[in-house]
Structure 1
Amino acid sequence: MSELLQKAYMDQLVKWIGRPCHFRLLYKISRDGCSAQTFHQKCDGQGPTVTVLYNTNNTIFGGYLSQSWNSDLDYINDANAFLFRLQYTGASNPLKFAVSKAASAGYGHSSYGPTFGGGHDIHTFSGTINKSGNYFPLNGYVGEIGNSYNLNGQSSSTITNDNLQVTDLEVYRVIDGDEQQIQQRKMDKPWREHTEWTEEKMKEIKENLLAYKPVSETNVTAANILLLGQIGAGKSSFFNSINSIFRGKITSKACSGSFEHSVTTTLNPMVRFTPKTPGYIKNPELENKIHCVAFVIDGSTTDVMSNNILQKIKDLQISLNQRGLPQIVLLTKLDKICPDVNNDVTNTFTSSAVCDAVEKIAEILGLPRAHVLPVKNYENESKLKTGVSILLMEALERCLDFADDYIDEQLDKKASEEKWPQAPEESWLLKGIRYLFRK
């Protein structure tokens, strides 16, 4: 389902924002559900945004923040914020309402949808709203509009019809630069070597994957790859996409999407994993260990990842490094990174936008660029495409290569320990050295 905002209204918003920019849809209640939790999962820390409401009077209104949404239970200070009306009862009639109290331009609350002003000027909704017929009866209010914004003689009635029964609500990320110019940025030489995008190449990779077996010297029967990432980053979609390739048709075995409930969320992130957790193995053999960890990251968010998320990833990496686990990044949603790639995925390795995203996430996570693999999951397609399948299978091949390396290292380590058992004093000394190096 595409965005509702017409190009003419986008152009008007660009003029009001005052710099070359374009818009990328982050959140849409008719697609993602009307939930404060989902809104914050998709929009917190995303930088400048435009929120647009479409009510049943055929009026379009909303607000702009140059600062990120958050869930801090506090006001958002923003001297560049404004409210707007684009259309009134079906007629185009754009008006901009500048902020008058910058210190309370927005309000971040984990239980609230987009909220502007102190009091509040526009409080869209709280909690979760179910659709009623063809509209969402939002439980917020607009009667206090004018508390923090200069209405220039207008009122809640002439801006919103005093109506929060909406057919849709959208939040767009505001991205600097003209979209057409970004689309035209294409590198003369590929930023990463790639062989070919042919049907024969796809069949070759597929056959190699079908023939894959872990190192024969072990009792490991399968490579265990752990996918880690935020809800909506593409973990379930990656699983579905790989499954689709080997079934020869688009499937949806895992329940993927952007709602709070996802099949890859097997463990409740709010509940600590303990020895009492079902399936816990205290001293796992190599066959039951994780052999490779793949961070699944939405490529369109690399510039605006929140400090909270980054810290969680860093904390995980410390633990993974201590265990010697190989790490890889599956950089998803290439179509959102670069429109040129959206049109043709074979442009992936000549796209400067994708190259920039790969370099950015490699720097953030402290990984080599070669460990960051751009992929496009099957999400909107009804049929398999050669280029998309090749990218996905090449990523899976790399994950298996890393898993094999880890299994080999564990075998070498075990053989060394059996040949040269450590004395207790030496063991404690080595532990002390390892501790110092960790510090």
Structure 2
Amino acid sequence: MTDSISGENFTTKYKTFKIQKDPEGFYSFIFDDIMGLERTEKGVNIEDIKLAQRGHVTEGYKFIPGKPLNEGDKDNISSPTLDEKVHALVYVIPAGSISLLTDEVVKKIRDVRLVASDMGIPQFAILTKVDEACPEVKKDISNVYKSVYLKEQVDRFSHLHGIPLNCIFLVKNYQSEFTTNDDIDAQILSALRQMVDYGEDFLNNL
């Protein structure tokens, strides 16, 4: 969730999300959400992200800007299992905000990428709110990969952060819709399929 007025992230805790498969269980993947990078005084500590990637952060840990998790803290998992470690890293950013990224945020992303790369963790980016970024896509969501503007944003993000083009996905958010939409779902599920496949490859290589 974000604050619709300030645009800043409401996420303050390390939160795990599971998707129900049937009454008896869940799908075999989970999402771990963290506080956004944003500005130094309000965004998540880079050290906390590094610890989360290595599986040292417990569910429900509250992020405190300027005060990273330390060894010995109650929320620090001293000997994480493979299940507690990150298997795929995903950056999520509005498609229309790529040009607004500050040098500070770019540096934060680079620092996070270096740790993930050292660990062999596959990395992806999801550029969201594509309909807000491009009028043609707002008219017809099927135009998402025909948009010259969105292609420029994908190229810019790839050049800026070194993430391959085939690991950057364009997605429309569910915002005002009350029911699901096949065209929107197709984009989301296509991105998820890639992430799961790469995540499985990462595990198989360990």
SS of corresponding position for 1:400: helix
Whether 1:338 and 2:134 are equivalent positions in the alignment is yes
Q: Distance in 2 between matches of 1:289 and 1:362?
A: 25
Aligned to 1:387: 183
SS of corresponding position for 2:156: helix
Deviation at 1:271, TM superposition (A): 2.2
**Contact 1:331/1:375 (8 A) holds in 2:** yes
Equivalent of residue 193 in structure 2, options 391, 397, 400: 397
Specify the code of the residue in structure 2 equivalent to 1:345.
Answer: I
Q: Distance in 2 between matches of 1:224 and 1:291?
A: 10
SS of corresponding position for 1:274: coil
Deviation at 1:224, TM superposition (A): 4.8
C-alpha distance 277-342 of structure 1, shift in aligned 2 (>3 A): farther
**Contact 1:333/1:377 (8 A) holds in 2:** yes
Q: Distance in 1 between matches of 2:88 and 2:141?
A: 26
Specify the code of the residue in structure 2 equivalent to 1:395.
Answer: A
* TM-score using structure 2 length: 0.72
> For residues 130-209 of structure 1, what are the structure 2 equivalents within 5 Å?
none
Deviation at 1:222, TM superposition (A): 3.9
Specify the code of the residue in structure 1 equivalent to 2:29.
Answer: A
C-alpha distance 309-290 of structure 1, shift in aligned 2 (>3 A): same
**Contact 1:225/1:403 (8 A) holds in 2:** no
C-alpha distance 225-362 of structure 1, shift in aligned 2 (>3 A): farther
**Contact 1:295/1:329 (8 A) holds in 2:** yes
SS of corresponding position for 1:402: helix
Q: Distance in 1 between matches of 2:131 and 2:37?
A: 18
Specify the code of the residue in structure 1 equivalent to 2:106.
Answer: L
Equivalent of residue 29 in structure 2, options 206, 211, 223: 223
**Partner deviation per Cα, 1:331-371 (whole Å, 9 max, x = no partner):** 11101221111122111111111111111111111011001
Q: Identity of counterpart residues, as a percentage?
A: 22
**Partner deviation per Cα, 1:38-88 (whole Å, 9 max, x = no partner):** 38x69xxxxxxxxxxxxxxxxxxxxxxxxxxxxxxxxxxxxxxxxxxxxxx
Aligned to 2:116: 320
SS of corresponding position for 2:173: coil
Aligned to 2:77: 281
**Contact 1:330/1:372 (8 A) holds in 2:** yes
> For residues 25-424 of structure 1, what are the structure 2 equivalents within 5 Å?
32=5, 38=6, 222-227=28-33, 229-230=36-37, 266-410=62-206
Deviation at 1:266, TM superposition (A): 4.7
Q: Distance in 2 between matches of 1:407 and 1:337?
A: 36
**Contact 2:69/2:75 (8 A) holds in 1:** no
SS of corresponding position for 2:99: coil
**Contact 2:129/2:172 (8 A) holds in 1:** yes
Q: Which runs of 4+ in 1 moved over 3 A?
A: 221-231, 276-279
C-alpha distance 287-388 of structure 1, shift in aligned 2 (>3 A): same
Specify the code of the residue in structure 1 equivalent to 2:137.
Answer: V
**Partner deviation per Cα, 1:358-388 (whole Å, 9 max, x = no partner):** 1111111101100101111111222221111
Unmatched 5+ stretches in structure 1: 1-28, 33-37, 43-208, 212-220, 232-263, 411-439
Specify the code of the residue in structure 1 equivalent to 2:80.
Answer: P
Aligned to 2:47: none
Specify the code of the residue in structure 1 equivalent to 2:114.
Answer: I
